[in-house]
Structure 1
Amino acid sequence: MSLVLYNHDLLADAYKVRLFLSLLGLRYERPTVAILPGNGNDAPAYRELNPAGTVPTLVDGAVVLTRPEAMLVHLAERHDTSGTWLPADPATRAAVFDTLAFAAGDLKAAEEARLESMLGLVPGHRDAFKAARQAFRLLEGQLIRRHLDGEAFLTGANPTIADVAVFPAVALSADFGLGMEEFPRLLIWARRIHKLDGFITAPGVREVV
């Protein structure tokens, strides 16, 4: 069985999948889809694989996935022998899926703000920076509640794919000028992610978050 991640190193969505593959200690192929600049995602061969032309795309044998949060779920269910990254406990599992939906929804404003700042791409939000800041405030509140319960990560005492899904937006926020001074719990949490076995960095990730 061969794992292939069609990747671009500058994209937060691709980084979250690379990060999780590394945390799991999995080997995989990593062809680059040249989209920034370039239109590699419009190449016929790539569109045949992923009709939407989004990046990344994960191929795991006969499975082809085009949404990063779905990739995290698949990798956890198929390759995590520890069973910790997507816990079986119903309450924790529900919290993980809730945070994955947040990462795919509200938190997308952070990547929009980042690509607008770096490359001048037009964001989907009228004010992507403002929307990203609001999303960070929600994360800060979630981590404060976890801290009061004596828990260190977004959905409990241990890291899950929810943390992996959220981390790139936080770690790359300097690219669009959002400082971490007003988010002390996010800062502490991000430092914990940096210390996980198998952690890898990416272009733009704060060295000391």
Structure 2
Amino acid sequence: MKLYHFPLSGHAHRAYLFLSLLGVDAEIIEVDLANGAHKKPDFLKLNRFGQVPVLEDGDIIVNDSNAILVYLATKFGRKDWLPDDLASVAKIQKWLSVAAGEIAYGPAAARLITVFGADFRSDEVIARAHRILGLINDELEQHAFITGKTPTIADVALYSYIVSAPEGNVDLTRHPQVRQWLARIEALPGFAPFPKTAIGLAS
């Protein structure tokens, strides 16, 4: 099993983190995004979108971070991370959508400005970030993890861009339940940290 990875990508970190939490020994292949390796023909054969992460498992190629989480949990029969009862499936899918939507256009976008020079309006994306973090904070007042008492792939999907939000000038002190949740994830066996960039509020 191979994971095509870029250390500063929160999307790639989701897959890397989950492999680590599962204790799966995969070959990690770092993709040189700075020099356009993700746009070269060989990589585009793996992912036409030219994005990381990509999971290669024999003849199976999975090239979306949330899809990789679902694939890995299913492949290894980890119903603790991806229960199959309908209520849990619906809750997890909702938060995977939040990770791909509000998180991507909030804290992730704010970080893209400071770390990669993306052309977004910082006031807009920071406000968006606080809105979704406020909703997540409210949810976490009810239970330790995002869907209940134990972690699921939904927590993994949300973690990377939330923990790195201060790099995009998003202040997490306004969201105490979120900060406690981050600490609970970081205490899990097999946890692998998201590399920090000394920029924004994290400078």
TM-score with structure 2 setting the length: 0.91
Q: Which structure has greater helix proportion?
A: 2
Does 2:162 align with 1:170? yes
Q: 1:198 aligns with which of 180, 190, 194?
A: 190
d(CA) in 1 for partners of 2:55, 2:190: 20
Does 2:64 align with 1:67? yes
- Asked if the contact 1:8/1:55 (under 8 Å) is kept, the reply is yes
Q: How does 1:68-87 map to 2 (within 5 A)?
A: 68-80=65-77, 82-87=78-83
d(CA) in 2 for partners of 1:194, 1:67: 23
Post-superposition offset of 1:127:
2.3
Post-superposition offset of 1:180:
1.4
Q: Which residue of 2 aligns with 1:99?
A: 95
Runs of 4+ in 1 over 4 A off after TM superposition: none
Does 2:94 align with 1:130? no
- Asked if the contact 1:125/1:131 (under 8 Å) is kept, the reply is no
- Count of residue pairs brought into register by the alignment: 197
Change beyond 3 A, Cα 1:62–1:125: farther
Q: How does 1:100-119 map to 2 (within 5 A)?
A: 100-109=96-105, 110-119=107-116
Q: Which residue of 1 aligns with 2:11?
A: 13
Post-superposition offset of 1:102:
0.7
Post-superposition offset of 1:125:
8.8
- Sequence identity of aligned pairs in percent? 32
3-state SS, counterpart of residue 170 of structure 1: helix
Name the stretch that deviates more: 82-91 or 159-168.
Answer: 82-91
Change beyond 3 A, Cα 1:205–1:166: farther
d(CA) in 1 for partners of 2:102, 2:135: 10
d(CA) in 2 for partners of 1:111, 1:180: 14
Post-superposition offset of 1:116:
0.9
Post-superposition offset of 1:74:
0.5
TM-score with structure 1 setting the length: 0.89
- Asked if the contact 2:110/2:169 (under 8 Å) is kept, the reply is no
RMSD of aligned C-alpha atoms?
Answer: 1.8
- Asked if the contact 2:111/2:167 (under 8 Å) is kept, the reply is yes
Change beyond 3 A, Cα 1:76–1:127: same
CA shift digits 1:90-137 (9 cap, x unpaired): 111210111001101111022221021112122499822222222211
- For structure 2, the residue ranges without an aligned partner over 5 or more in a row are 199-203
d(CA) in 2 for partners of 1:7, 1:56: 5
d(CA) in 2 for partners of 1:55, 1:125: 24
CA shift digits 1:172-206 (9 cap, x unpaired): 11211212111011011111001101001121189
Corresponding letter in the other structure for 2:11:
D
CA shift digits 1:15-73 (9 cap, x unpaired): 111000000000111111111x2211111100111111011111112221111001000
3-state SS, counterpart of residue 56 of structure 2: strand
Change beyond 3 A, Cα 1:197–1:184: same
